[in-house]
A and B are shown apart, each in its own frame.
Chain A
Amino acid sequence: MSLDDAQIVNVNIPQQQSPNNSSSQEQIQSKSWRTNSLQEPGFVDLGSKRVPHGSRQGDVDSERFSISMSHREINDEDARLVYVNDPLKTNERFEFAGNSIRTAKYSVFSFLPRNLFEQFHRVAYIYFLIIAILNQLPQLAVFGRGASILPLSFVLLVTAVKDAYEDWRRHRSDRIENNRMCSVLVNEKFQEKKWKDIQVGEIIKFSVDDTIPCDAVLLSTSDPTGVAYIQTINLDGESNLKTRYAKQETLSKIPEKDMINGLIRCEKPNRNIYGFTGTMEIDGKPLSLGPSNIVLRGCVLKNTNWAVGVVVYCGRETKAMLNSSGAPSKRSRLETRMNREIILLSVFLVALCMAVSVCAGVWLKRHESELEILQFYRKRDYSEPEVENYNYSGVGMEIFFTFLMSVIVFQIMIPISLYISMELVRVGQAYFMIRDDKMYDETSNSRFQCRALNINEDLGQIKYVFSDKTGTLTENKMEFKYASIFGVDYSGERTNFEGEQRGYCIEVDGQVWRPKMKVEVDKELLELSKTGNSTKAGKHIFDFFLALAACNTIVPIVVDTSDPAEKLVDYQGESPDEQALVYAAAAYGFMLMERTSGHIVINIQGERQRFNVLGMHEFDSDRKRMSVILGFPDGSVKVIVKGADNSMFGIIDNSINLDIIKATEGHLHSYSSIGLRTLVVGMRELGVPEFEQWQSSYETASTAVMGRVALLRKVAINLENNLEIVGASAIEDRLQKGVPEAIESLRKADIKVWVLTGDKQETAISIGYSSKLLTSNMRRLVINSNSKMSSKKSLEDALVTSKNFLASEDEDTGGSDGNTNSVALIIDGTSLVYILDTELEEKLFQLASNCAVVLCCRVAPLQKAGIVALIKKRTDDMTLAIGDGANDVSMIQMADVGIGISGQEGRQAVMASDFAMGQFRFLVPLLLVHGHWNYQRMGYMILYNFYRNAVFVLVLFWYVLFTGFTLTTAITEWSSVLYSVLYTSVPTIVIAILDKDLSRRSLMTYPQLYGAGQRQESYNSTLFWLTIADTLWQSIVVFYVPLFAYWKSDIDGSSLGDLWTLAVVFLVNIHLAMDVIRWTWISHASIWGSIIATCICVIIIDVIPVLPGYWAIFELASQGSFWVCLLGIQIAALVPRFGIKMVKQHCKPSDIQIASEADKFGNSMELGGQEIEMNPARR
């Protein structure tokens, strides 16, 4: 604490002394908001998971932010100087960006060069380009100009059209955005101005429900205390209201009358939406500015009639715009493996080219003496007066040229088109994932979101799932459950008023006000609460609910309903726990109706009462409690404190009511052991001298310029002591729907589920039981240590125990059912501190891999990432992290696949994630169904593309052996080029998007089928080499059958080329058809359509009279041998593959094979009819 003070003082002193002086120290590093969020320590145990943003008296965030940059100060070079209400002077020295935004990338003129430049960032296109350029050299011109440029230009054109369309849409939305209106102070009057004309330094005014056009520091608001409520849904998706404050010093100024002059000195524009530091000098008085003083572009002003602010960042420099870049890109496991195989293919390519060029050299050497008069070579050119070598530059050069030419001819050995196909396929898969109505969340009205487009297939190979608890496994919708009031436990029968009374409501001015959410209430407690202060129990209950209604930061908002006589009271606040408590208090007749910074109005059993809020000490993660000082209508003053049990019992007076305290502790224990979140409430009446003493120190502290937070904390700690216990509340964080079933499925799929939570151990364990993560026959190993030595010892013990246990289990059951008895590891954050990043990590890993379940409690955000890293470093297994809060961001980014739950807790997790969805249970269809499909489809597509291209290249290669190694292609150059672009590309993409090896039902019924992806069954080296062998055989058949059939005949090159073209295209398409599992009309259309398209293309090429192959296809097709060859090739090439496939299917059927047979023949007896019933297709 004292260290913090020192740093804060250090930060602030220079600002105070020399605000205009450029006393430069170190440079400010603009920190990305992500880094910042990682630094926030574990403030997770109480209700509020986030540090409140809008602390009025002290800016917790900003102070922490300053601390993290300790001893640094904004000097003039790194600062932005904004002269309030003087845009000219502000922009004099530096031209700050105007407020016009430009999300569009291109203008009409820059489109072509920039778009091309961006497209050529891809390796694939550069490869295309190099090959095309090589082909333009006259020495190497294998293909004609047109043919060689066609594929590249086609791809470039398609991409350019797509980019242009997207950009046009961006231009349009930019225009709309830039032309919105806002009122700006010009010549002491507020005038309407277009958004794009707003400049830094201007004073702008916005009224309720206005969208804020730029980042502005608040000067004053309609609220006398300077509060403005904003909604940041456009910025981070959080829908609750946040409070922002104008500085007290500027509050009273009226911009039109009082000339506001001042200087704001703030950091350079950066992406941190939760941080802002700066100073404002008004009337020669320096004031410090924090994130609670700034409103950001895109936010909406709510519940505040108007607010006035100074523009500090505009346009592209606003935090919203700086944050609008996309998700981080990851590369999928399959693609990484594929790249290895592609290197192998490049080696093949080089080998083929070497072989051809060496053979060509040998051939030339052997025929060197004859070359001059060989009719088909003619080394010399006699047509010119001077006889010289024609196109011949020595054997060495010829070898070199041959090598380059063969690279051009065999270029598609490297399946560059595969990268483009993969992108298309992923888009298609994403489309289906987004459209899946089984992953649509009704409650939040949100679809599945694919934020990263390149790791779809990773979803099929997950081995570890790391899950957050609150908001992920649970709904993070807190519900008040039980209360222990002055040692009496009210956890009796629940009643809800559905139907009979429709909850508690009151009448105000002839209107019915009712809380927005209904709470189940305890009958007995309800009766007692109505008795009021008359009985002793009634008094305690009164105190308890008054504390719940008063001690919070909730703002009641009255919402109209369709019925004009009825209004709903919506409690807005940042902590769902507080919301739950206030709703509960309202249900028991203590309805919070109004909150301003000075007073609150509570309707107590129908009677409106006003309490003065004399002071408030907000929640912070050191104290783990908050307190409010309330002036009662009768003139007495009380301090009400609410906090976590361990922080509260320390400050409760043990000398009185010891038995009550004991009883409460007992109740707390029983609550937390059934997974409830508990809070303890204490209260004390303040005597006049004590109150006055507190008040003076509170005022000093809250007006202090520097170290305000620390001072206030001291004041709070001095005040919060010797409390009298009032009671404890238990809030249920309900499990999300379907979580136990989902975890069961994941476990069956052999996915290890680890839960990482900030909650305390008992809560975590109880949630573990209710979510079926832990079962009663599991052996629990608990590690709670607080030193390195003890961690080491408990780790070693646990390791031995787990090994012994597993060994004995194996003996006992003979390995009959390994699932029922297993080990669960429960470890807490303190132990992890000593284990992670030390040599103990290895032991923890060994232990964890012996355990079926791992539960980590009280872990800080960075530790979550550390645990994911622990697994990632040591295994090849794929990891998935799923979470919903800011504290899960690091874990989500660390894991191979990060999933954000778009639920109650804001959108930071979603922003950092690769995929986002509404409910935890969607993980099951996502992984087991879509993941499985994606993986299987992508794996097959990669192998097929390797095969498809290699078989064609090999056919070309065999022919080269019969042309004196000169790279003539019998297949026309147009067919060579169109082969991978048109003849064979569509079916592979369509099949990779649409084919399903198993039905959704089978995959959901048998989660074990997921193992195929984990074992890499669809793509591995064995399959790769088998494919290559098959390719070799098929290419031999395609090439040599016509060769021998037409040997010593008068067949011409073009005809034979056409035969090869058709044979190979038919073959690869039929090969694909043989592997298609589910034939829809689209698959039929694409495969047979491709074959027909090929025939049409071949015919078109052959009706052009100036091509050498004119009419060849018709002459060819008139001969019987053509048809006989074509048929023979298909069968001979495919028989081995078919035979091996059938043998394998029969003798060593894979699980997928059996399941798909069962799927088809519907062996309902074995599948178990009831099991199917359990998973009916949800409509």
Chain B
Amino acid sequence: MSNVTTPPMNPNSSPPRKINSHRPTYSRFTQQELPACKPILTPTYVISAFMIVTVVFVPIGLASLFASRHVVEIVNRYDDYCAPYGSRSDKVRFIQSDADKTCNTTITVPKHMKQPIYVYYQLDNFYQNHRRYVKSRSDQQLRNKNYENDTSTCKPEDSVNGTVPIVPCGLVAWSMFNDTFSFSTNNNVKLPITKKGISWKSDRDHKYGKDVFPKNFQNGSLIGGAHLNESIPLSAQEDLIVWMRTAALPTFRKLYGKIEVDLKAGDTINVIMQNNYNTYSFNGKKKLVLSTASWLGGKNNFIGVAYLVIGGLCFVLAMTFTAIYLVKPRRLGDPTYLTWNRSPAGH
């Protein structure tokens, strides 16, 4: 494909140069004649490009759809039935009160679920990506004991009475989710939930200090969410670590734990929840999600459908181009198509 318009200059053929000649020294670079590959998209290339896309995309799309169909997902919205019926302000008052917030439900497993089964809680309409929110944290403080007082970015949840620093500070930690779930089968055998290893290993090892312990947390007049055990270092507080990975979108899931046994189709599971977290004030929904995972993650048909659409479209385009090239062929580089050859009164 190399396009060489002129052979490299033979140094002997050049005229003898004067000492102070201004003649530009010849090089292929300065004459803009570097060897170059000049791909021209011939019909064959175009059609095969589209066909390759089709050939690659359709199988991936099918595989994704297949994977997604194999994911078993149980979604249970509980914020509505776990609160007294009535107006929104009733619910807000309820959630802010000291009343017992235990709440039960049973869910039926629709299909066989292979372990590990991931237990998520899903919040809707919760802007964990809100600018005020994401900025209100101190990564230094989380990592290093010596930066305990590094709370300038944590406002308005930086210190108690303006003097004693809060660890972990900031709105993100303060608003930590505090509903709890426990599962048992219908014959009251407890289903164990593993809460170890739900956060990223990198976070536990490097981002959260092993010697940083919560201090003055949730001591203010306004309780945002969970309390933390002050004797456990932050690096072991996996719920916090998960929560601190702020979600990208206002509808998000966070990993609560893993069930490491298979669930059979038709099994009913009793769930006992502590409905503590206030989403009523902003009409946010809370859902409990049990899901298996595929190589593509959770249940989501979008990628599969998108790939099939793109693959299909490219197939159609390939066919269209074939038709165009057959119906109206044009020899490449045919000078009769040049405008001044085509229209007689060119200029």
B314 lies within 8 A of A373 (CB): no
Q: Which residues of B contact A1082 (CB under 8 A)?
A: 34
Point out which of A1049, A1157, A1177 has the most chain B C-beta atoms below 10 A from its C-beta: A1049
A385 lies within 8 A of B161 (CB): yes
A1079 lies within 8 A of B36 (CB): yes
Q: How far is the CA of A1051 from the CA of B23 in the complex (A)?
A: 62
Q: How far is the CB of B248 from chain A (nearest CB, A)?
A: 4
Q: Which residues of A contact B225 (CB under 8 A)?
A: 375
B236, CB-defined interface residue at 8 Å: no
Task: Determine which of A383, A1008, A1142, A1146 lies in contact with B338 in the assembled complex, contact meaning CB atoms within 8 Å.
Answer: A1008
Q: How far is the CA of A967 from the CA of B129 in the complex (A)?
A: 10
Closest to B13 in A: A1179
Given A382-B220, A1154-B335, A446-B347 contact (CB < 8 Å): no
Q: How far is the CB of A359 from chain B (nearest CB, A)?
A: 13
Closest to B313 in A: A1135
B78, CB-defined interface residue at 8 Å: no
B31 lies within 8 A of A1111 (CB): no
Q: Which residues of B contact A1079 (CB under 8 A)?
A: 36-39
Which residues from 244 to 261 on chain B have a C-beta closer than 8 Å to any C-beta of chain A?
245-255
Q: How far is the CB of B229 from chain A (nearest CB, A)?
A: 21
A391, CB-defined interface residue at 8 Å: yes
Which residues from 129 to 143 on chain B have a C-beta closer than 8 Å to any C-beta of chain A?
129-134, 137, 139-140, 143
Tally of contact residues, A, Cβ under 8 A: 112
Given A367-B282, A1052-B246, A1055-B248, A1146-B325 contact (CB < 8 Å): yes
Given A1008-B346, A1167-B335, A1145-B41 contact (CB < 8 Å): yes
A1049 lies within 8 A of B298 (CB): yes
B297 lies within 8 A of A1156 (CB): no
Interface string of A1128-1151 (1 = CB under 8 A from B): 100110010011001101110101
Q: How far is the CA of A390 from the CA of B130 in the complex (A)?
A: 15
Closest to B122 in A: A1048
Which residues from 957 to 981 on chain A have a C-beta closer than 8 Å to any C-beta of chain B?
962-964, 966-968, 970
Of A1-9, A116-124, A307-315, A816-824, the segment with at least 4 beta carbons within 8 Å of chain B is: A816-824
A1177 lies within 8 A of B6 (CB): yes
Given A377-B132, A1046-B248, A1146-B43, A1166-B334 contact (CB < 8 Å): yes
B346 lies within 8 A of A968 (CB): no
B130 lies within 8 A of A376 (CB): yes
Task: Determine which of B161, B295, B340 lies in contact with A383 in the assembled complex, contact meaning CB atoms within 8 Å.
Answer: B161
Q: How far is the CA of A1051 from the CA of B255 in the complex (A)?
A: 10
B187, CB-defined interface residue at 8 Å: no
Q: How far is the CB of A26 from chain B (nearest CB, A)?
A: 48
Q: How far is the CB of B323 from chain A (nearest CB, A)?
A: 11
A659, CB-defined interface residue at 8 Å: no
Of A199-207, A435-443, A557-565, A583-591, the segment with at least 4 beta carbons within 8 Å of chain B is: A435-443
Q: Which residues of A contact B282 (CB under 8 A)?
A: 367, 370, 374
Of A503-511, A833-841, A905-913, A1117-1125, the segment with at least 4 beta carbons within 8 Å of chain B is: A1117-1125
Interface string of B4-27 (1 = CB under 8 A from A): 011001000110001011111010
Q: Which residues of B contact A376 (CB under 8 A)?
A: 126-128, 130, 132-133, 171, 175
Which residues from 1044 to 1083 on chain A have a C-beta closer than 8 Å to any C-beta of chain B?
1044-1057, 1077-1082
A1124 lies within 8 A of B64 (CB): yes
Q: How far is the CA of A274 from the CA of B130 in the complex (A)?
A: 71
B99, CB-defined interface residue at 8 Å: no
A1110 lies within 8 A of B202 (CB): yes
B344 lies within 8 A of A815 (CB): yes
Which residues from 114 to 131 on chain B have a C-beta closer than 8 Å to any C-beta of chain A?
120, 122, 126-131
The total of interchain contacts (Cβ-Cβ below 8 angstroms) comes to 321
B18 lies within 8 A of A1052 (CB): no
Q: How far is the CA of A677 from the CA of B122 in the complex (A)?
A: 96
Q: Which residues of B contact A1108 (CB under 8 A)?
A: 134, 137, 139, 246
Q: Which residues of A contact B9 (CB under 8 A)?
A: 1179
B278, CB-defined interface residue at 8 Å: yes
Q: Which residues of A contact B132 (CB under 8 A)?
A: 376-378, 391, 966
B35, CB-defined interface residue at 8 Å: yes
Closest to A1148 in B: B337
Closest to A1079 in B: B37
Q: How far is the CA of A1006 from the CA of B179 in the complex (A)?
A: 77
A516, CB-defined interface residue at 8 Å: no
A750 lies within 8 A of B347 (CB): yes
A94, CB-defined interface residue at 8 Å: no
Q: How far is the CB of B44 from chain A (nearest CB, A)?
A: 12
Q: How far is the CA of A300 from the CA of B272 in the complex (A)?
A: 104
Of B79-87, B104-112, B262-270, B303-311, the segment with at least 4 beta carbons within 8 Å of chain A is: B303-311
A1154 lies within 8 A of B337 (CB): yes
Q: Which residues of B contact A391 (CB under 8 A)?
A: 132, 155-156
Of A175-183, A339-347, A995-1003, the segment with at least 4 beta carbons within 8 Å of chain B is: A995-1003
Q: How far is the CA of A1080 from the CA of B107 in the complex (A)?
A: 63
Point out which of A1011, A1048, A1145 has the most chain B C-beta atoms below 10 A from its C-beta: A1048
B66, CB-defined interface residue at 8 Å: no
Interface string of B148-168 (1 = CB under 8 A from A): 000000011111111000100
Closest to B321 in A: A1142
Q: Which residues of B contact A1081 (CB under 8 A)?
A: 34
Task: Determine which of A382, A390, A818, A1077 lies in contact with B221 in the assembled complex, contact meaning CB atoms within 8 Å.
Answer: A382
Task: Determine which of B21, B155, B297 lies in contact with A1049 in the assembled complex, contact meaning CB atoms within 8 Å.
Answer: B297
Q: How far is the CA of A680 from the CA of B253 in the complex (A)?
A: 102
Task: Determine which of B46, B131, B224, B298 lies in contact with A966 in the assembled complex, contact meaning CB atoms within 8 Å.
Answer: B131
Q: Which residues of B contact A1008 (CB under 8 A)?
A: 338-340, 346-347
A447, CB-defined interface residue at 8 Å: yes
A1125 lies within 8 A of B344 (CB): no
Q: How far is the CA of A440 from the CA of B36 in the complex (A)?
A: 25
Given A391-B155, A435-B30, A1056-B248, A1050-B296 contact (CB < 8 Å): no
B222, CB-defined interface residue at 8 Å: yes
Interface string of B195-237 (1 = CB under 8 A from A): 0000010110011000000000000111011000000000000
Q: How far is the CA of A967 from the CA of B130 in the complex (A)?
A: 8
A1114, CB-defined interface residue at 8 Å: yes
A1128 lies within 8 A of B310 (CB): yes
A968 lies within 8 A of B130 (CB): yes
Q: How far is the CB of A1014 from chain B (nearest CB, A)?
A: 10
Given A437-B24, A1045-B303, A1057-B248 contact (CB < 8 Å): yes
Q: How far is the CA of A1045 from the CA of B254 in the complex (A)?
A: 16
Q: How far is the CA of A999 from the CA of B35 in the complex (A)?
A: 12
A436 lies within 8 A of B24 (CB): yes
A570, CB-defined interface residue at 8 Å: no
A432 lies within 8 A of B338 (CB): no
Q: How far is the CB of B140 from chain A (nearest CB, A)?
A: 6
B324, CB-defined interface residue at 8 Å: yes
Which residues from 134 to 191 on chain A have a C-beta closer than 8 Å to any C-beta of chain B?
none
B189, CB-defined interface residue at 8 Å: no
B62, CB-defined interface residue at 8 Å: no
A818 lies within 8 A of B131 (CB): no
Q: How far is the CA of A1143 from the CA of B325 in the complex (A)?
A: 10
Given contacts A383-B158, A1110-B203, A1161-B332, 18 further A-B contacts (CB under 8 A): A375-B174, A375-B175, A432-B30, A435-B31, A437-B26, A437-B30, A816-B344, A1008-B347, A1053-B128, A1053-B246, A1054-B245, A1110-B207, A1125-B303, A1135-B310, A1146-B43, A1149-B330, A1156-B38, A1160-B333
What are 10 of the A-B contact pairs (CB < 8 Å)? A383-B158, A391-B132, A750-B347, A1008-B346, A1046-B249, A1105-B207, A1106-B143, A1131-B310, A1142-B41, A1154-B333
Query: Which residues of A line the B interface, CB within 8 A?
Result: 367, 370, 373-378, 380-385, 390-391, 431-432, 434-437, 440, 442, 445-447, 750, 810, 814-819, 933, 962-964, 966-968, 970, 994, 996, 999-1001, 1006, 1008, 1011, 1041, 1043-1057, 1077-1082, 1105-1108, 1110-1111, 1114-1115, 1119-1121, 1124-1125, 1128, 1131-1132, 1135, 1138-1139, 1142-1143, 1145-1147, 1149, 1151, 1154-1161, 1163, 1166-1167, 1177, 1179
The 3 closest A-B pairs by CB, nearest first: A1158-B333, A381-B156, A1157-B333
